[in-house]
């Protein structure tokens, strides 16, 4: 039996000794993808599938699997996604070669590895992550986007950013976020601690920055869709507190579209990309 | 004879009394277009053609012509382009209707009117302009662009921004810019006054901001392509002064690609969009 066989029954959070684990920092445009996660249906393009297929080609045919910090939905972008890949230990490559090689094989798709770093087998892109940061951008003007079509949510009505900021304050901290999770969300607990939910105007944009140790499925988009109701004056800021307390998805606002959302960063106690 | 007939022989810079002149502020993604200028060959998509055809539809079939402040090349973008359109005087529309109507007819192309304003017949988008501002953006990192593919120039080698800034200083002011104009440039004089040529680093980007009363054909891209040689250390900053003095296109660097260039604004003594 080869050394790697027992690893198949191991938990995801440690690499078997026969592999070399690589962390990758990624940027992508989520349009045209079914999302991060590889689908069983053939012909559907996923970020994960693209990355793993590139890794397989880079390692001359080895079946390389990846684990990510955030399984982004279809149409959602990333400027600071993190994943890890387990290469066979006998494949010795430099950080620059892993980055450039993966990028070469992912061409011409709008997905790139910004940095690649070897990590200890205990390090795990998903389970070692201690924070996730997302940015939701609204283009708030009459004209539809021309330069950023597909990368912002276009909202015509002028939004009241002060009201949105007041509403956002009600969501900060540790809560049962049932009202803001997708009904299909598979997380065991609906309780999360929201560390940051800033709303600011930047010229024609209204930018929402959210950070937490982890988020529920659709949580950022559901919060953005609800804050937009406040920005339009259709909801009072305090209604967001009532929606949260209701612990019922129907009590909160609609899910904002994916194109405004971008995973901007993942935090680690030991950040492989800072060295 | 209708009133409008004599107008056909008038110079471009005044509207005949039978028309209502509209100024439009525009944003567009230049990819997929042959540039601003309408081409005689059918099947080639130009920004001008798209705008004029939309204006014709908005005015129920009138043949509407436009004049622009800057005839951008194929692949060049704009966030603050200005043009004017002459509508028949009997077509009375509000500013919001002109903006929204033109945008409706230009769908789904990545071209939009941000603002539309009625102007006096003497006001001319081209001849009343007293300044043009362009931004040239270089994405200076190893990985190709994923989120901004087609909207930046990708340069892998780390650029020396201080050297580029020293080089840019040699180009400021009034000069014969023959070395930096396209050989096909049709301007009568190669003399221009460059009011601004700033180079700064913004994270992974190197951004060049240029402003002048007017520019020669390809001038900003030729300056950007030359500054990049300095940034790579292939040229000393002082070589840019020698290239300028040579008054010979072959003395300067290559033309930077169109995708990094964006027309960001046009200045007027009477700015129709500030009211």
Question: Is A100 labeled as catalytic in the residue annotation?
Answer: no
How many whole angstroms separate alpha carbon A242 and alpha carbon A231? 17
**Taking CB atoms and an 8 Å limit, are A103 and B29 in contact across chains?**
no
Could you report the per-residue pLDDT of A2-51, keeping only the tens digit for each? 333 333 334 556 666 678 999 999 999 999 999 999 988 878 899 999 99
Mean pLDDT of A138-144: 98
Residue % of chain B over a pLDDT of 70: 93
> What pLDDT score does A14 carry?
66
Interchain proximity A79–B144, CB inside 8 Å: no
Closest CA to A182 of A221, A136, A239: A221
Pick B14-127's CATH classification: 3.30.70.580, 3.40.50.300, 3.30.2290.10, 3.30.10.20. Answer: 3.30.70.580
Q: How confident is the model at residue B17 (pLDDT cuts 50, 70, 90)?
A: low
pLDDT in tens, B115-164: 999 999 999 999 999 999 999 999 999 999 999 999 999 999 999 999 99
Question: What is the dotted CATH code of the domain comprising A18-127?
Answer: 3.30.70.580
Find the chain B residues whose C-beta atoms sit closer than 8 A to any C-beta of A: 27-29, 77, 79, 96, 99-100, 103, 107, 110-114, 141-147, 149, 151
CB B155 within 8 A of CB B228: yes
Instruction: Decide if pLDDT at A100 tops 60.
Output: yes
pLDDT tier, A90 (very low <50, low <70, confident <90, very high otherwise): confident
- Judging contacts by C-beta atoms under 8 Å, the chain A residues touching residue B151 are 147
**Do residues A150 and A181 make contact, with C-beta atoms less than 8 angstroms apart?**
no
Q: What is the pLDDT of residues A219-241, one digit of tens each?
A: 999 999 999 999 999 999 999 99
How far is it, in rounded angstroms, from Cα A146 to Cα B27?
6
pLDDT digits (tens, 9 = 90+) for B95-121: 999 999 999 999 999 999 999 999 999
What is the model's pLDDT at position A238? 98
Supply the pLDDT for residue A15: 64
Distance from the Cα of A149 to chain B's closest Cα (Å) equals 7
Same fold yes or no, A18-127 and A130-264:
yes
| Domain-wise residue ranges, chain B | 14-127, 130-264
CATH T-level assignment (fold) for domain A130-264: Alpha-Beta Plaits (3.30.70)
| pLDDT single digits (tens) B219-247 | 999 999 999 999 999 999 999 999 999 99
Which residue ranges of B make up the annotated binding site?
A: 134
Buried b (16+ CB within 10 A) or exposed e, B27-57: bbbbeebbbbbbeeeeeeebbbbbbbebbbb
Q: For residue A226, what are the CA distances in angstroms to A40, A51, A73, A172, A237? A: 33, 34, 19, 14, 10
Residues B190 and B192: their CA atoms lie apart, in Å, by: 6
Binding-site residues of B for substrate, in ranges, read 134
Express each pLDDT in A157-175 by its tens digit. Answer: 999 999 999 999 999 999 9
CB pair distance less than 8 Å for A112 and B151: no
Mean pLDDT of A256-272: 97
Helix and strand element counts for chain B (H, E): 5, 10
Contacts of A151 in chain B (CB under 8 A): 147
8 Å CB contact of A112 and B27: no
B133 contacts B33 by C-beta, under 8 angstroms: no
* Catalytically annotated residue among B73, B86, B176, B248: B73
Helical spans, DSSP H, in chain B: 47-58, 95-106, 161-169, 219-231, 237-246
Q: Tell me how many helices (H) and strands (E) chain A has.
A: 5, 10
Which residue in B103, B113, B146 is closest to A28 by CB distance?
Answer: B146
Q: Which residues of A touch B (CB under 8 A)?
A: 27-29, 77, 79, 96, 99-100, 103, 107, 110-114, 141-147, 149, 151
Q: What is the CA radius of gyration of chain A?
A: 20
Neighbours of A149 (CB within 10 A): 17
Q: Chain B: residue nearest A78 by CA? A: B147
- List the beta bridge partners of residue B84: B23, B67
| Per-residue confidence (pLDDT) for residue A19, from 0 to 100 | 83
Residues on chain B touching A142 (C-beta within 8 angstroms)? 96, 99-100, 114
Q: Are the beta carbons of A29 and B149 separated by less than 8 Å?
A: yes
pLDDT band of residue A261 (cuts 50, 70, 90) is: very high
3-state secondary structure at position A122:
coil
pLDDT band at B91 (very low <50, low <70, confident <90, very high): confident
What is the residue-averaged pLDDT of chain B? 93
Query: What whole-number percentage of chain A has pLDDT above 90?
Result: 87
Report the percent of chain A where pLDDT is more than 70.
Answer: 93
A27 and B110: CB-CB below 8 Å? no
**Res B90: pLDDT:** 86
Kindly report the backbone phi and psi dihedral angles of residue B119, in degrees, each rounded to the nearest multiple of 5, phi listed first. -130, 165
CB A74 within 8 A of CB A261: no
| pLDDT-above-90 percentage for chain B | 87
- What angle is formed at CA B23 by the lines to CA B150 and CA B90, rounded to 5 degrees? 130
């Amino acid at each position: 039996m080869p050394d790697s066989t027992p690893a198949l029954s191991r938990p995801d959070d440690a690499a078997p000794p026969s592999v070399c684990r690589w962390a990758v920092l990624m940027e992508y445009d989520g349009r045209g993808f079914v999302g991060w996660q590889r689908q069983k249906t053939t012909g559907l393009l996923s970020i994960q599938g693209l990355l793993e297929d590139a890794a397989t080609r880079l390692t001359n045919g080895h079946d390389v699997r990846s684990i990510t910090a955030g399984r982004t939905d279809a149409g959602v972008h990333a400027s600071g996604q993190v994943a890890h890949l387990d290469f066979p230990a006998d494949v010795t490559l430099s950080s620059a070669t892993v980055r450039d090689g993966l990028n070469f094989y992912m061409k011409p798709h709008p997905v790139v590895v910004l940095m690649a770093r070897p990590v200890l087998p205990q390090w795990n892109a998903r389970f070692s992550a201690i924070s996730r940061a997302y940015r939701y951008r609204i283009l708030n003007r009459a004209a539809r986007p021309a330069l950023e079509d597909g990368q912002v949510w276009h909202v015509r009505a002028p939004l009241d950013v002060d009201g949105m900021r007041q509403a956002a304050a009600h969501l900060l901290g540790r809560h049962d976020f049932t009202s803001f999770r997708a009904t299909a969300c598979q997380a065991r607990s609906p309780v999360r601690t929201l560390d940051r939910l800033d709303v600011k105007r930047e010229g024609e944009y209204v930018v929402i920055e959210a950070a937490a140790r982890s988020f529920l499925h659709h949580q950022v988009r559901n919060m953005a869709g609800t804050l937009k109701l406040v920005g339009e004056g259709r909801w009072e800021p305090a209604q967001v507190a009532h929606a949260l307390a209701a612990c019922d998805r129907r009590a909160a606002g609609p899910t904002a579209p994916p194109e405004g959302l971008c995973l901007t960063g993942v935090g680690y106690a030991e950040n492989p990309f800072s060295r």
